[in-house]
């Protein structure tokens, strides 16, 4: 009798779910048909994961649309807890906080930030607090909070789509991080695109972004050098140590005397840079293991070492340029902005830097230095040289000339 009652209960519950899901499909076929067709193609549909699992049961008609529940990473974690936990440990999860931490983020049009049409359009992948989500909803930005759907586009949530390098293209291109351009023009990228269009066999080795940065599907997406290619401890090479200290001062992490500032604690909390040799080596060894599946380990270590060396060379140029601008503050040639804590240029002020020479310094750092080392690590010679190193040399020449003219004008 107990088994019979349990059967009846399951029958009625499944009938209710089926009926409700049919009602969702019936209504949305006429209002948003592509959502339904995408869902029908998904693994969710195959496994009877219906609308209510992600969107709740409060929304039942056009009159109560405001009651629909919008997914967050916790929604996905009901079934995909391993991937969500990995994601929370990685750099993508802190993307929203990193954007908000930029010195002049508040000076940008909100449509670009919270409106998700500029920086926020990609940085929305980052985790947000309940208060932030509530504020975004109140400001009209109701969507874009789930994070996972940035790569696994709703409502198919396709794993296969997210495994393609094009899934990374929307965000990883352009001014400060043209990884798509560098990858797709490299031997790795060309080979994979030829594999996609059928020119090469499906069985040839051709790495994607995910092959190197998400080995075995790990959603942490971390690198040894981090986004800005700065790390601790300082190198043994005296000149490089001085140059890196100069860059850290211009990032606000060290004060003019080389002592840590409060911002260092923010960097530690966000885990955006490797702050111990052990952490750096851990990520470097992951990459060596990945690359060694196609290349000899000796070759891999030698190639990665070249990336380290180009960072060292780029830092020499960058430090010289930073010190030129810092001396202009020191000598009263240009006025230090009131929002700067120290008499050092702030590299992360971006286009809000107040003078042309400070603008040039920001471009040198965030566009050209980035392309120099990223182009090297992504095996794209053109980006490493002509879009990176060569541009840094030209930036430094222009900064020297601007500083010279500013001093002449001041002395007249």
- Residue 183, in any domain of the structure: no
pLDDT at 92 over 70: yes
**Tokens at 185, concatenated:** 């023009």
Question: Are 363 and 172 spatial neighbours (Cβ–Cβ below 8 Å)?
Answer: no
d(CA 370, CA 372): 5
- Same domain? 75 vs 55: no
Note the pLDDT tens digit of each residue in 113-146: 888 899 999 999 999 888 888 777 777 666 767 7
- Residue 219, in any domain of the structure: no
pLDDT class for 18, splitting at 50, 70, 90? very low
- Same domain? 111 vs 22: no
Q: Residues 9-32: what's their mean pLDDT?
A: 65
- Same domain? 82 vs 132: yes
- Same domain? 337 vs 381: yes
- Residue 181, in any domain of the structure: no
Considering the chain, what is the average pLDDT of its residues?
90
Note the pLDDT tens digit of each residue in 252-280: 999 988 899 888 887 777 777 899 999 99
Q: Is 384 exposed, middle or buried (0-12, 13-18, 19+ CB in 10 A)?
A: buried
- Residue 277, in any domain of the structure: no
- Same domain? 265 vs 359: yes
- Residue 285, in any domain of the structure: no
Note the pLDDT tens digit of each residue in 338-378: 777 678 899 988 999 999 999 999 999 999 999 999 999 99
- Same domain? 313 vs 370: yes
- Residue 138, in any domain of the structure: yes
Predicted confidence at residue 141, as pLDDT, reads 67
Q: Is 387 exposed, middle or buried (0-12, 13-18, 19+ CB in 10 A)?
A: buried
Out of 162, 194, 216, pick the residue that ends a domain: 162
The single residue listed with the structure tokens 């009209």 is 140
Predicted confidence at residue 272, as pLDDT, reads 77
Out of 47, 64, 81, pick the residue that ends a domain: 64
CATH of the domain at 334: 1.20.850.10
Predicted confidence at residue 10, as pLDDT, reads 41
Out of 43, 64, 85, pick the residue that ends a domain: 64
- Same domain? 318 vs 380: yes
pLDDT class for 244, splitting at 50, 70, 90? very high
Q: Which of helix, strand or coil describes residue 254? A: strand
d(CA 196, CA 186): 15
- Same domain? 319 vs 388: yes
Cis peptide before 233 (omega within 30 of 0): yes
Note the pLDDT tens digit of each residue in 203-240: 999 999 999 999 999 999 999 999 999 999 999 999 99
- Residue 282, in any domain of the structure: no
Query: Cβ of 401: how many Cβ atoms within 10 Å?
Result: 11
- Residue 192, in any domain of the structure: no
- Same domain? 14 vs 84: no
Q: Which residue has the higher pLDDT, 286 or 19?
A: 286
Q: Which domain holds residue 98?
A: 70-162
- Same domain? 130 vs 80: yes
**C-alpha pair distances (Å), 306 with each of 233, 313, 374:** 20, 11, 12
pLDDT class for 20, splitting at 50, 70, 90? low
Question: Are 357 and 344 spatial neighbours (Cβ–Cβ below 8 Å)?
Answer: no
**Tokens at 92, concatenated:** 């993508």
- Same domain? 255 vs 388: yes
Task: Indicate the number of domains in the chain.
Answer: 3
- Same domain? 247 vs 319: yes
d(CA 37, CA 159): 17
Radius of gyration of the chain (CA): 25
């Amino acid at each position: 009798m107990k088994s019979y009652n349990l059967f009846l209960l399951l029958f009625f519950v499944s009938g209710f779910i089926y009926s409700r899901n049919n009602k969702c499909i019936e209504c949305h076929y006429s209002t948003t048909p592509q959502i339904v067709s995408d869902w029908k193609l998904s693994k969710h549909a195959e496994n009877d994961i219906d609308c209510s699992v992600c969107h709740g049961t409060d929304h039942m008609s056009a009159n109560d649309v405001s009651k629909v529940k919008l997914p967050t990473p916790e929604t996905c974690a009901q079934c995909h807890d391993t991937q969500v936990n990995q994601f929370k440990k990685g750099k993508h999860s802190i993307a929203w906080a990193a954007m908000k931490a930029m010195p002049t983020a508040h000076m940008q049009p909100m449509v670009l930030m919270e409106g998700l049409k500029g920086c926020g359009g990609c940085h929305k992948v980052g985790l947000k607090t309940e208060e932030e989500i509530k504020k975004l909803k109140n400001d009209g930005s109701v969507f874009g909070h789930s994070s996972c759907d940035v790569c696994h586009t709703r409502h198919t949530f396709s794993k296969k789509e997210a495994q393609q390098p094009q899934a990374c293209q929307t965000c990883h291109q352009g001014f400060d991080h043209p990884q798509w351009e560098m990858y797709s023009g490299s031997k790795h990228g060309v080979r994979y695109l030829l594999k996609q269009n059928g020119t090469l066999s499906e069985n040839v080795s051709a790495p994607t972004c995910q092959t190197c940065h998400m080995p075995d599907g790990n959603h942490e997406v971390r690198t040894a050098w981090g986004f800005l290619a700065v790390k601790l401890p300082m190198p043994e090479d005296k000149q490089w140590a001085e140059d890196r200290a100069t860059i850290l001062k211009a990032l606000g992490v060290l004060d003019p005397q080389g002592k840590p500032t409060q911002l260092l604690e923010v960097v530690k909390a966000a885990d955006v840079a490797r702050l111990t040799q052990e952490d750096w080596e851990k990520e470097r060894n992951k990459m060596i293991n990945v690359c060694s599946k196609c290349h000899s380990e000796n070759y891999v270590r030698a190639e990665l070492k070249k990336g380290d060396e180009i960072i060292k060379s780029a830092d020499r140029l960058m430090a010289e340029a930073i010190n030129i601008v810092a001396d202009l503050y020191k000598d009263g040639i240009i006025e230090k902005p009131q929002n700067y804590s120290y008499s050092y240029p702030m590299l992360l002020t971006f286009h809000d830097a107040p003078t042309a020479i400070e603008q040039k310094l920001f471009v040198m750092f965030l566009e050209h230095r980035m392309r120099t080392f990223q182009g090297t690590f992504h095996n794209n010679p053109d980006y490493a040289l002509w879009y990176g190193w060569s541009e840094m040399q030209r930036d430094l020449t222009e900064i020297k000339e601007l500083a010279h003219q500013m001093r002449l004008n001041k002395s007249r």
